[in-house]
Chain A
């Protein structure tokens, strides 16, 4: 019996079966960078619907999780920027897609709150704008802040660089972005990586995400963007 500390390595097709109709799914990435392209493509093929997508942006039409919007597998998006994907704009205008736009610094901090056990946090970002609508505004030491609430998900699809069999992860270049925090804030964390090595082969100084946060490992595939990022 393999120890539970050893994380299963599986195909993207197998891994995305953890997502069911109505699941909330965090997907790492900023623009082209740090997107788990192979997992997202598998999710498109799997076809499960009514996903609540939590991602910084919805990329471009036909790229990464931008495809999930086009296939209408997403019922709600929580993101900071969706301007580059025409399908997001179109489906939102047709009222086929719910959209919650969050300032990017607030977005990432809400994920931290979700993953690290905070009940919320106070930020000055958005005070006096429509973003504060429906939220509690509090004055602390003479400055106004918005009370923002945590974000969590059923499943996080993240993108790492190297993994060992414990699921310890390193990141590369600007692919890091939201991935380390998303690994803290979901029930099931699936990491797509460039390579998988034996336990002990990654210098502990280089580990950014400890393996205790990661449930499954998937090797990146050979799609255009997976190979280039």
Chain B
């Protein structure tokens, strides 16, 4: 049992990036924009953080924190492409998201080749340092993000308007809400959060960025949004569950009772659980009604 308790910091380390990215996905989907680019945006954030950190590490002790901010900025900038395409120009949201995912893998490795002359960033000396109890600060960042997103979505007029744009954009517009502007902000927020999530991942779980660093974490976050039924508490719970499954797939060899299982068992769990719950709860539709549908002004 103590083995399992020893795993808590590792589990939280895996959960934090997934939860932060899933919060981004939640904000975007509640405004009516599906963001399957989370995976790519996390990659862009991870690459930016790894690069900034490795370059500034010798100069300043604050480079980890500068890297986090830079990654959020990079995610925000990259998501503006998705916002421009899918909100302003009414592009198909899934296609533009797919394009960003392709661009992210190519772009980050391309830039690594230019900056570091290899297919990955240089490894950094030290990543983020764990705090008391061996828990990384990323866990606390995730808690803050969760509380802020929950508060903003459900306790502020801003969140109320944002959710209206995702349920019935025409009604929201007739109530005086600028649907396009709201969706733009939501997509940018999701980009910044996904970028931050990528940074949290690369600075705690590994020592450099490669094209395998994110490895599906963004898609797990996307699954957490669905499985969490588009509410902050639900998405947080789903992220906790999926993050634990990912951690178990890596550390299960240390636990006697689980060693007999194939390692793929826990890797597959997040995806299988999501699929099964989508089927089981198919009768009731929890998704925002207008998610994925471009908003046409004035019905023209």
A and B assemble together: no
Which A residues have a C-beta under 8 Å from some C-beta of B? none
